[in-house]
Amino acid sequence: MILTVTPNPSLDRTYEVPALDRGEVLRATAERMDPGGKGVNVSRALAAAGRRTVAVLPLGGAPGALVAELLAGQGIEVAPVPVAGATRSNIALAEPDGTLTKINAPGPELTAAESESLLSTVRTQVHAQVHAQVHAQVHAQVRTHADSVAWIACCGSLPRGLAPEWYAELVARAHHAGARIALDTSGPSLLAALRERPDVVKPNAEELAQAVGRPLVTVGDAVKAAEELRTYGAGSVLASLGADGQLLVSDAGTYFGFAAVAAVRSNVGAGDASLAGFLAAGGEGPDALASAVAHGAAAVQLPGSVMPSPADLDPSAVTVTADIPLDRPLTEPAS
C-alpha cells in the first residue's frame, strides 16, 4: 500500500479551447473537473492501476468536500485533515497543440495546530496499517506484506503557514515509523528535506537546475546535478526531463529512459503519473524507471489530468539504457 501526502490539494477544472485569445470570450469544446494536487494525482494513478492507496490531505469548505467525494468515487481511501480555510480551486486552459495555461490559487493558510494534525495523521495511518498487517498475520498464521505501507509519497508545494522545514520533519517521522519516502517538491522545501535523507526525490529539469544553482543544457548536466543532490542526502534521484525522457541516478547505477509520444494532449499530472508508476514497480532500478516512463508517456496523451490505466500503457515503446547520452542537448534547457 502506498500512502500519499498532499499539503496543498486543489479542485482542478480543465477547459479545452480552440485558441487562447486574450481579452476575448473563449468557448470551451470540452471540460472536466478533477481532484488535484501532486500527491492526489499519484493516488489517482495508483488507483487506476488497481493498487491500494490512502490519500492524506487537508480539506476545507465546499471545494474540499467535493475533492473528497471525487476521490472516493475513484476508489481512493481518504484520510482528511479538517482545516478552517477552503481548499483552493485551480483552472487550466488546454489548446489543441498541447499548450497549457494554468491559474493556480494560493490555497488556505494552515495554522500550527492544523500543521501538527497533518503530521499526526500520517503517523496514525502508518501505525494503523502496521497494526492491520500484524492482526492479519496472527489470524491467518501467514506472513503477508500486502497492506503494509511500502512508500509514503510526499508531493507538491507547501501551503501558507507551513515552514520550508515541514517536509524535513515529515521525512524524519516517516523514517522513524519504518516507511520509505518519495519526495516531489522544489526550492527551499526540497533543500531542507535533503538533510533527512529521503529515499527518492523527483525533480523536473527546472527544479533540478534550481536546486544546484546552475543551468542545465545537456543530459550530462542533468546527470551531474542529480549526483550532486545525492551528495546532499537524496537516496535516489528520479529526474523528469520533459520530452527528452527521464533519469534515474542511484547506488545501483545511472539509467536513462525514453518513450516517443505521437501527440501531447495535456501534461498536467504527467510527472505524478510517472512517480506512481515508479513506486508501483518497486521504486528502484531500471524496471521501475521503465514503468515511470510508460506512465508519463501515457498521461500526456490523455485530457486534463486524467491518470492512465493499464490499458493506456505501451511498455514496448519504452527504452531504458545505462548508456547515457551525456552530450544530447535538452529540448528545453533548464535555466
**What amino acid positions are annotated as catalytic residues?**
272
Beta partners for 82?
59
Q: Which DSSP string do the residues of 72-129 spell out, in sequence order?
A: HHTT-EEEEEE-SSPPEEEEEEE-TTS-EEEE----PPPPHHHHHHHHHHHHHHHHHH
Residue 60 vs residues 43, 308, 332: alpha-carbon distances, Å: 19, 28, 38
State the Cα–Cα distance between residues 71 and 307, nearest whole angstrom.
13
Please check whether residue 25 is in contact with residue 286, taking contact to mean a CB–CB distance below 8 angstroms. Answer: no
DSSP secondary-structure letter at 164?
T
Contact 319, 258 (CB under 8 A): yes
Chain CA centroid to CA 219, Å = 22
